[in-house]
């Protein structure tokens, strides 16, 4: 399918596309990608301020999100380097996705286990790991989305990813504030 729309498809066909397993997978992957970015930015800053960390120290935590700005640097490595052991079991994309999600979970647990007042360095280390792992996950999900489906399903997969991403951001922002 080229740049022109296929007029032979009905609204029913378009709606059925939302129930494609790959589209649903991208919805959940979008959620897992949207959750960490807001945790690094606003929720982490709020947590640190409420713990009594000085505002000047809190502003340094914005550096943890630099992984998103510089992911183009290691994207070619993620694209070309197979992970030992995992690559044989899962393939290139899924192995990198699993590693990045395990790293995200590990970083979140590591940050939650430390007290910001006593272990600010450890919180910062976890935030950098979270930013790097989350940016790596974004690289892998984008590559998977492009490779996983034909051109006619790309728009649907992209919209499902963005919807999941926004819901993840909403949960990380408003959900965190509601729990606090």
What pTM value is reported for the model?
Answer: 0.83
Structure tokens at 7: 């007029």
* Residue 28 covered by a domain: yes
Cα distances from 119 to residues 38, 51, 62, 109, 111, in angstroms, run 21, 12, 17, 14, 9
Predicted pLDDT at 94: 92
* Residue 2 covered by a domain: no
Q: CB of 122 within 8 A of CB of 54?
A: no
Low-confidence ranges of the chain (pLDDT < 70): 1-9, 14, 176-177, 179-180
Predicted pLDDT at 7: 58
* Residue 146 covered by a domain: yes
* Residue 15 covered by a domain: no
Structure tokens at 58: 């809190």
* Residue 163 covered by a domain: yes
* Residue 56 covered by a domain: yes
* Residue 114 covered by a domain: yes
Q: CB of 110 within 8 A of CB of 126?
A: yes
Domain count, the chain: 1
Cβ burial 142-166 (10 Å sphere, 16+ → b, else e): ebbbeebbeeebeebbbbbbebbbe
DSSP 41: I
Q: CB of 62 within 8 A of CB of 41?
A: yes
Domain CATH code at residue 63: 1.20.1250.20
DSSP 174: I
Give the range of the structural domain holding residue 78, as residue numbers without chain letter. Answer: 20-179
Predicted pLDDT at 1: 46
* Residue 79 covered by a domain: yes
Residue with tokens 């965190």: 176
Structure confidence by residue, pLDDT tens digits, 16-33: 777 888 889 999 999 999
Rounded (5°) CA angle 67-71-75: 145
Predicted pLDDT at 6: 54
């Amino acid at each position: 399918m080229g740049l022109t729309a296929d007029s032979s498809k009905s609204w029913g066909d378009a709606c059925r596309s939302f129930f494609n397993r790959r589209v649903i997978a991208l919805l959940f992957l979008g959620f897992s990608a949207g959750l960490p970015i807001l945790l690094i930015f606003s929720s982490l800053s709020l947590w640190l301020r409420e713990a009594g960390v000085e505002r000047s120290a809190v502003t340094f935590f914005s550096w943890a999100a630099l992984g998103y700005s510089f992911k183009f640097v290691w994207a070619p490595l993620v694209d070309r380097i197979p992970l030992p052991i995992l690559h044989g079991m899962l393939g290139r994309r899924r192995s990198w996705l699993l590693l990045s999600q395990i790293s995200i979970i590990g970083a979140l647990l590591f940050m939650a286990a430390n007290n910001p007042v006593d272990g600010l360095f450890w919180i910062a280390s976890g935030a950098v790991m979270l930013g790097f792992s989350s940016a790596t996950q974004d690289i892998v999900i984008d590559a998977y989305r492009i490779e996983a489906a034909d051109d006619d399903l790309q728009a649907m997969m992209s919209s499902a990813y963005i919807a999941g991403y926004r819901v993840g951001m909403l949960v990380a922002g408003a959900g965190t504030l509601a729990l606090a």
